[in-house]
Amino acid sequence: MMAAASGRSTSSSAAAVGAQIRRRREQRGMSGSELARRAGLSKATLSQLEAGKGNPTIETLDALAIALRIPLTDLLTRDTDPGPVFVPGTEIAEGEVGRELLRRISSGHSLEIWRLRMPAHTDLTGVPHATGTVEHLLVASGRLTAGPADAPRLLGPGDLLAFAGDAPHLYRTDAGPADVTVVIASPIVG
Amino acid sequence: MMAAASGRSTSSSAAAVGAQIRRRREQRGMSGSELARRAGLSKATLSQLEAGKGNPTIETLDALAIALRIPLTDLLTRDTDPGPVFVPGTEIAEGEVGRELLRRISSGHSLEIWRLRMPAHTDLTGVPHATGTVEHLLVASGRLTAGPADAPRLLGPGDLLAFAGDAPHLYRTDAGPADVTVVIASPIVG
DNA sequence: TCCCGGCGTTCGTTATAGTGAACATATCGT
DNA sequence: ACGATATGTTCACTATAACGAACGCCGGGA
Mean of the per-residue pLDDT values of chain B = 82
Whether the pLDDT of residue B2 is over 50: the answer is no
How close does chain A come to B102, measured CA to CA in Å?
7
Selected residue of A13, A45, A117, A141 to mutate for chain B interface (largest B Cβ count, 10 A)? A13
Strand-strand pairing, A178-186 and A134-142: antiparallel
How close does chain A come to B84, measured CA to CA in Å?
4
- Res A7: pLDDT: 44
Reported as a pLDDT band with limits 50, 70 and 90, residue A78 is: low
A93, exposed or middle or buried, with CB in 10 Å at 0-12, 13-18, 19+? exposed
Q: Would you say the C-beta of B8 is within 7 Å of strand D?
A: yes
Mean of the per-residue pLDDT values of chain A = 81
Distance in angstroms (rounded) separating the CA atoms of residues B174 and B119: 9
Reported as a pLDDT band with limits 50, 70 and 90, residue A89 is: confident
Distance in angstroms (rounded) separating the CA atoms of residues A31 and B111: 29
What is the Cα gyration radius of chain A?
A: 23
The predicted model gives B26-52 an average pLDDT of 91
Reported as a pLDDT band with limits 50, 70 and 90, residue B77 is: low
- Res B75: pLDDT: 83
Reported as a pLDDT band with limits 50, 70 and 90, residue B83 is: low
Distance in angstroms (rounded) separating the CA atoms of residues A174 and A144: 7
More confident site: A103 or B57? B57
Distance in angstroms (rounded) separating the CA atoms of residues B161 and B149: 14
With 0.75 as the threshold, say if the pTM is over it. no
Please state, as a whole number, how many other Cβ atoms lie within 10 Å of the Cβ of residue B23.
Answer: 12
The predicted model gives B141-160 an average pLDDT of 91
* Alpha-carbon separation of residue A100 from A77, A180, B135 (angstroms): 29, 11, 19
- Res A50: pLDDT: 92
Whether the pLDDT of residue A185 is over 60: the answer is yes
Strand-strand pairing, A123-126 and B85-87: unpaired
CB A75 within 8 A of CB B108: no
Reported as a pLDDT band with limits 50, 70 and 90, residue A94 is: confident
Distance in angstroms (rounded) separating the CA atoms of residues A69 and A64: 8
Binary contact (B89, A11; C-beta < 8 A): no
- Res A95: pLDDT: 76
In DSSP terms, A104 is beta-bridged to: A112
Distance in angstroms (rounded) separating the CA atoms of residues A39 and A156: 44
Reported as a pLDDT band with limits 50, 70 and 90, residue A49 is: very high
Strand, helix or coil for residue A85? strand
- From the list A183, A185, A174, A186, the residue with the least C-alpha distance to A115 is A183
Strand C nucleotides within 7 Å of a protein CB: 6-12, 15-22
Q: Quick one: CA torsion of A91, A95, A96, A102, rounded to 10 degrees? A: 50
- Res A8: pLDDT: 52
Reported as a pLDDT band with limits 50, 70 and 90, residue A109 is: low
The predicted model gives A146-164 an average pLDDT of 90
Whether the pLDDT of residue A110 is over 70: the answer is no
Residue B146: which residues within 8 A CB-CB, separation 6 or more? B137, B152, B153, B155, B161, B169, B170, B171, B172, B180
CB B169 within 8 A of CB B146: yes
CA of A150 to C1' of C1 (A): 57
Whether the pLDDT of residue A48 is over 80: the answer is yes
Q: B123-141 in b/e burial notation, b at 16+ Cβ within 10 A? A: eeebebbbbbbbbbbbbbb
The predicted model gives A82-88 an average pLDDT of 70
CA of A45 to C1' of D27 (A): 49
- From the list B104, B75, B62, the residue with the least C-alpha distance to B15 is B75
